[in-house]
Chain A
Amino acid sequence: MSEKRAVDRRDFLKGAAVTGAAALVPDVALGAAPPEAPQAAPAQGAAQTAESGTAPVTAREVDPAVEVEFTTDVPGGDFMVDVVKSLGFEYIAANPGSSFRGIHESLINYGGNVAPELLTCCHEESSIAMAHGYFKVEGKPMAVMCHGTVGLQHGAMAIYNAYCDRVPVFMLAGNHLDASMRRPGVEWAHSVQDAAAMVRDFTKWDDTPHSLPHFAESAVRAYKIAMTPPMMPVLITIDGGLQEDPITPDIASRLRVPKLTVATPPQGDSGAVAEAAALLVNAENPVIVVDRVARTPAGIGLLVELAETLQAPVIDRHGRMNFPSRHALNQTESANQVIAGADVILGLELFDFWGTVNAMRDALHRTSRSRVREGTRLISITSQDLFTKSNFQDFQRYPEVDIAMAADAEATLPALTEACRRLVTDDRRSAFGERRQRLELAHVRGRDAARAEAAYGWNATPISTARLAAELWDQIKDEDWSLVSESGNSSGWVWRLWDFQNSYHHIGDSGGAGVGYGAPAAVGGALANKKHGRISVNIQADGDFLYAPGVWWTAAHHRIPLLTVMHNNRGYHQEIMHIQRMANRHNRGVTSARLGSALDNPNPDFAKIAQGMGVHAEGPITNPSELGPAIRRALDVVKGGEPALVDAVTQPR
């Protein structure tokens, strides 16, 4: 490759020499002066003008025929594709943009549009949220391309969600650094000194490479940083000239793709692990609270092992698919009571440890109180302690814990479980057995209570969220299913009624609670599930749907099987409740809280919108008895490899 590039370089230099001699033709002389007439070099010309005090001569491009000399079959973008391919991306998502046209073309014609395959997206927020959802199923990042200016601004919310959720996204942002080479007009508006600045507060690392070898090193470094817990999005700004211009011989001689070695996640300190184990084994009521602990499919088994070693209850905050929902030790149904009775609490990758052990009342005066009894010992294992940024406050209130391990929880679980096993005596084993019996009974009671509770409003119109979850479960329970989003805030019924076991059964939530995540994350998750033949399921909020509905076209265009059931409560319902709270507080207009937050008059017809994007869709369905058959018909479409949507009009929560 380097030899060929050297030839191109010679060709390029030859062309450049010719051009340098002939390119600058004064407008006034065009047509009068012979094309072969040598003109002054630009720097020299400018100097002469300054000295003479005459008006500058306007230069323009030469005979377009000379442009032929600039063609190349080895542009910088091809090497960028080599680097991108070396990182093993399956897909690269983008809404097309001229600032990355060079690498876009290279991906198609040099890279063959395979590994990575381009995903045509209709909004950068969709591209990035799709990458977010994809990672949480597949466990490896998706690449994204966008404009370094308008594209990053569109995508900023999705980047923030991924950042808060500690999910890696590998982003390439196009830019034009050389101001003298920018096209007038739009290209200036689409150029920026420091593209990454606007998202630097919520990305883990970024760089703006000045050469192709620099790009290679930065791209591999970015991947490694993104994949090291705590994982986060990374950004490489790629200059237009670097993508489009030929590779010069001196650069070609330095081109190589660095070796990628992903860092092993850090384990907790052995002394701290031993101390934690002693507390847990000797506790009368230890509780394990988990949020983003299962980083890999192995995480569930490791957590089950620890819980069963201690016969300790597990409270799942559902940031990841952490713990089987029907395991006897899953006590999430009684979270508050279990936490209130704990004498030792182990928090694993908790997004909010303070909020786990304290309650705040959002009333006229905000007050807080401890949820735990005095003397309860708190142990934290989280990679969040390894990397915290300042500006955005997603790090939550400071938790006062007794042991804080700055480490990856999943990587620490084997050592912690083993340390606990070593300390278990016969007496403790006996106590653990009794505890297990109590917890099994409590688990059964919790499930029975949930089923009984689901019956309330069972036949109501609009459809209850419990009924929605039950109808959906009835259709998918015998399939290899994957819940790829639940943006509908449907009162947690899926967790109460469904049997979650496998790592892909659930992918957590958005992280930053930025609306607009649900639909594209579901499409991204479904794309990851596609090659595994899984049935991807999405409970879709109406407000979220409307942020960037072009993602349904992307799902149809790329034949991404995805079963979506709307949780259509006709409004940004969270905000309706907030406005209600304000009206009550201010003693006025308590009947007006829906203004500005309701999505009615007219009711958006989500089925029609989806149909217009090429997606099979039915609805709106208001009669609960019609929901099951509609889901069944949609499931048949999904099994045929296409997306399908059922618009169910539902109770608020």
Chain B
Amino acid sequence: MKTCIFLSATATVLAVVIATAQAPSSTLVAASPQTQAQGQTAPEPTGDPDTGEELYTDIGCYACHGFEGQGGVTGPRIAPRPFPLALFIRFVRQPPNQMPLYTDRSVSDEDLGHIHAYLLSRPEPPAVDSIPLLQP
């Protein structure tokens, strides 16, 4: 009839695996890959964003991270600034958190490059101060 809700332990586990200095402030967004990647060298786009968009939906990334990679209760935000590609691939192959792993039998490194390019192509969000509905 119904099963449990995934409770993401992402934040804490990620913080252990990928050492960064920034203390998380939210259970949903803390220590998300893109947050962790801040300060690192910007990754080079290696794939095609359009192909990546299709793959991103087809292999189910959207299910936990949202169609825009904006994240949610089931998976952290991963766009528009994902991990550098090498780290991104390593994370997908060996996720240290609740994320189901994707082996190279499920998705190739090349396809992960396309997905990575799609995530990089996502627009930056509007400034929060410019959104009347989000004012305190």
Contact = CB atoms under 8 A, between A and B. Distances in A.
A489 B71 CA distance: 13
Interface in B120-135: 125-128, 131, 133-134
A489 B73 CA distance: 8
> Which secondary structure characterizes the binding site on chain B?
loop
B77 interface: yes
Interface in B37-82: 58-60, 62-64, 66-68, 70-74, 77, 79
Nearest to A462: B67
Interface string A622-653: 00000000000000000000000000000111
Contact of A474 (B13, B70, B72, B133): B133
B27 A335 contact: yes
A470 B64 CA distance: 21
A583 B126 CA distance: 36
Contacts of B73: 489, 491-492, 653
> Which secondary structure characterizes the binding site on chain A?
helix
A157 B67 contact: no
Given A334-B27, A363-B98, A587-B106, A574 B68 contact: no
A114 to B, nearest CB: 36
B25 A445 contact: yes
Contact of A513 (B4, B12, B79, B107): B4
A577 B62 CA distance: 10
A255 interface: no
Contacts of A456: 68, 70-71, 77, 79, 125
A455 B106 contact: no
Q: How large is the interface on A (under 10, 10 to 19, 20 to 34, 35 or more residues)?
A: 35 or more
Contacts of B66: 457, 460, 464, 651-653
Nearest to A340: B12
Q: Give 7 nearest A-B pairs by CB, closest first.
A: A457-B70, A653-B72, A455-B125, A456-B70, A584-B100, A491-B72, A457-B68
Given A576-B63, A584-B102, A590-B102, A515 B27 contact: no
Contact of B67 (A445, A489, A593, A651): A651
24 contacts: A333-B26, A336-B11, A452-B128, A453-B26, A453-B71, A455-B134, A456-B70, A459-B126, A462-B67, A465-B72, A491-B73, A496-B28, A512-B2, A513-B2, A514-B2, A574-B3, A574-B5, A577-B74, A591-B60, A593-B63, A651-B66, A653-B66, A653-B72, A653-B73
Contact of A361 (B5, B9, B107): B9
Contacts of B131: 455, 458
A449 interface: yes
Nearest to A515: B2
A363 B98 CA distance: 6
Nearest to A364: B101
Given A580-B100, A653-B73, A653-B74, A333 B3 contact: no
A586 B107 CA distance: 13
Nearest to B106: A590
Scoring A454, A457, A496, A512 by chain B CB atoms within 10 A of each residue's CB, the highest score goes to: A457
B9 A359 contact: yes
A653 B63 CA distance: 8
B125 A457 contact: yes
Interface string B69-111: 0111110010100000000000000000110111101110000
Nearest to A355: B7
Interface in A482-523: 489, 491-492, 496-497, 512-515
Nearest to A474: B133
Contact of B63 (A333, A465, A471, A573): A573
A470 B114 CA distance: 33
Contacts of B71: 453, 456
Contacts, number: 166
A154 interface: no
A442 interface: yes
A362 B66 CA distance: 20
A473 B131 CA distance: 14
Contacts of B97: 361
Given A587-B106, A590-B106, A454 B134 contact: yes
B1 interface: yes
A593 B63 CA distance: 10
Interface string A338-372: 00100000000000000100010111100000010
A140 interface: no
Contacts of B29: 449, 453
A651 B70 contact: yes
Interface in A431-448: 442, 445-447
A361 B97 CA distance: 7
A459 B72 CA distance: 16
A581 interface: yes
A450 interface: yes
A580 B101 CA distance: 10
Nearest to A315: B27
Interface string B10-38: 01110000000001111111100000000
A292 B64 CA distance: 28
Contacts of A336: 9, 11-12, 27
A362 to B, nearest CB: 6
B58 A574 contact: no
A593 B27 CA distance: 27
B51 to A, nearest CB: 14
A580 B63 contact: yes
A617 B71 CA distance: 30
Contacts of B133: 470-471, 473-474
B11 A652 contact: no
A511 to B, nearest CB: 11
Contacts of A577: 6, 60, 63-64, 74
A585 interface: yes
Contacts of B13: 361
A252 to B, nearest CB: 46
A48 interface: no
Interface string A94-137: 00000000000000000000000000000000000000000000
Scoring A336, A462, A576 by chain B CB atoms within 10 A of each residue's CB, the highest score goes to: A336
A140 B106 CA distance: 53
A492 B26 CA distance: 12
A156 to B, nearest CB: 10
Given A581-B100, A651-B70, 14 more contacts: A336-B9, A359-B9, A363-B100, A363-B101, A450-B26, A462-B67, A464-B70, A470-B133, A470-B134, A492-B28, A515-B2, A580-B100, A652-B63, A652-B67
Interface string A318-341: 000000000000000111110010
